[in-house]
Amino acid sequence: MTNINNSAAVQATVKPQLRSFDIKKIRGDFPILSTKINGKPLIYLDNGATGQKPGYVINAISQYYKKTNSNVHRGAHYLSDKATQEFEQSRTTIQKFINAEHREEILWTRGTTESINLVAQSWGQRNIGPGDEIILSTLAHHSNIVPWQLLSEQTGSTIKVIKIKNNGELDIEQYKNLLSNKTKLVAIGHISNALGIINPIKEMIELAHKVHAKVLIDGAQAVSHIQVDVQDLDCDFYAFSGHKMFAPMGIGVLYGKKNLLEKMPPWQGGGEMIEKVTFEKTTFNQLPYKFEAGTPNVSGAIGIAAAVNYLNSFDRKMLGDYESYLLDYTTTSLEKISGLKVIGRDCHKVSVISFNIEGCHAQDLGMMLDQQGIAVRTGHHCAMPLMQALNIDGTVRASLCFYNTTKEIDQLCKAIKVALTMLL
């Protein structure tokens, strides 16, 4: 049994089920965590930007290229058939992971951003027009803002924005007042990438459906932290990326309700997404292929399925409990540093801590921490409207994962104090 804590005093505060959490074994699953930066052990606290990859995922991708590499569908040979089977099995794995009703509701994309753009330019162009309204959130990532601004310019529709309360949470009462018979779409994040706040999306989806609006959820920050059930949520679209949940970059997922996807026109044209092509007319493939133009990212699909299998090998509640413990430990430890303020302190959130230190620029602190082997992210975190609402330029963000430890947090706090002696 490996003790997850670095002091007897701290262990006394830990839930009993976490005392058997084998953090040493888990960290051994991730080869990059043995890296040294400037001669110091890597402390990776930038999981909100991208998660590291376990050997299980790396090996799955490597084995595909070593033993199966071939293009999928229509190939009249063994490798193509085997690659197709693995590729389509990956789709089924994702279907079960988010509890979609139908496997054809799972579309492969390059990531959350492309998924949102697909909905905007396919469903949006067909269903939104002059005078219609799109509701967005102050907590949104730019990827869930800019595609809708482009659509608004193209269609003459109007964008409305849900404001935040003083603690950073969305103002649900104001959201209720924004909803009307003009609302055609609500596009909100499941979890804020900048602050880690979990939005009450199930309630928000129910409210939107009462005015017959559709709802798209940006789940990029959610799938690695919490279990997602799209049928229980009853969302119309759900988008997420592989690389934030321990899978490779360049692969993403768009879930859409089957009845909506069937009515939507293709977004991109090319191979795979066609049924028949003549110079007079083209007819399009069935779901999900009509939205997957060109050679697909086969290794990415295999990689994201491997990441799901890796996550499913754990008790997800146990992982969540451990991350909650890390969040509390980190918040308490950081707040002992003079002048440090955690943004979004008293909210329902996942293990993301954004903070500023009085008199210290976030970028300067980030660079000083890097010299000590600690990876954090600084700046506006692709959430400039949120930073404007908070009246700050940006933050230092430490985003935690179940492979992080309290010892690393102690090192972070020590490194911050060292940096401040030179910066203040």
Give 45-62 as a DSSP string.
Answer: -BTTT-----HHHHHHHH
Whether the predicted pLDDT of 9 surpasses 50: no
Instruction: Give the Cα separation of 276 and 173 in Å (integer).
Output: 50
Task: Tell me the C-alpha distance between 378 and 74, whole Å.
Answer: 47
Structure tokens at 84: 């197709």
Helix (H, G, I), strand (E, B) or coil at 333: helix
* pLDDT for position 273: 58
Flag whether pLDDT at 10 surpasses 80.
Answer: no
Which residue from 314, 405, 385 is spatially nearest to 138, judged by alpha carbons? 385
Backbone angles phi, psi at 46, to 5 degrees: -125, 40
* Cα–Cα distance list, 66 to 70, 122, 161 (Å): 11, 37, 49
Q: Which residue has the tokens 């963000």?
A: 397
Count of positions (residues) in the chain: 424
Of the listed ranges 31-35, 76-80, 119-123, 232-236, the one predicted with least confidence? 76-80
Considering only residues 282 and 141, tell me which one the structure prediction assigns the higher pLDDT.
141
Helices (H) and strands (E) in the chain, counts: 16, 17
Mean pLDDT value across residues 17-29: 79
Q: What is the CATH number of domain 8-34+315-419?
A: 3.90.1150.10
Q: In terms of Cα–Cα distance, which of 250, 8, 232, 196 is closest to 101?
A: 232
261-285 core/surface letters (b: 16 or more CB in 10 A; e: else): beebebbeeeebbbeeeeeeeeebb
Q: Is the pLDDT of residue 13 over 90?
A: no
In this structure, what token pair is assigned to residue 25? 């074994």
Domain ranges of the chain: 8-34+315-419, 58-312
Q: What tens digit of pLDDT does each residue of 401-420 get?
A: 999 999 999 999 999 999 99
pLDDT tops 60 at residue 4: no
Q: What integer is the mean pLDDT of 207-231?
A: 98
Average pLDDT, the chain: 92
Residue 163 and residue 181: Cα distance in Å, rounded? 20
Predicted TM-score (pTM) of the model is 0.93
Mean pLDDT of 164-173: 95
In the chain, pLDDT over 90 holds for what percent of residues? 85
Mean pLDDT of 295-320: 95
Active site residues: 382
Ramachandran angles phi, psi of 50, nearest 5°? -165, 145
**Cβ-proximal residues to 284 (8 Å cutoff; 6+ apart), any chain:** 266, 273, 274, 275, 290
Mean pLDDT of 159-187: 97
Give the residue among 97, 56, 61 at the shortest CA–CA distance from 316: 97
pLDDT at residue 284 in the model: 65
Q: Whose structure tokens read 């849900």? A: 162
pLDDT band for position 18 (cuts 50, 70, 90): low
Work out the pLDDT band at 16, boundaries 50, 70, 90.
Answer: very low
**Beta bridge partners of residue 284, listed in sequence order:** 274
Residue among 217, 210, 260 nearest 235 (CA): 217
pLDDT at 7 over 50: no
pLDDT at 11: 34
**The domain 58-312: what is its CATH number?**
3.40.640.10
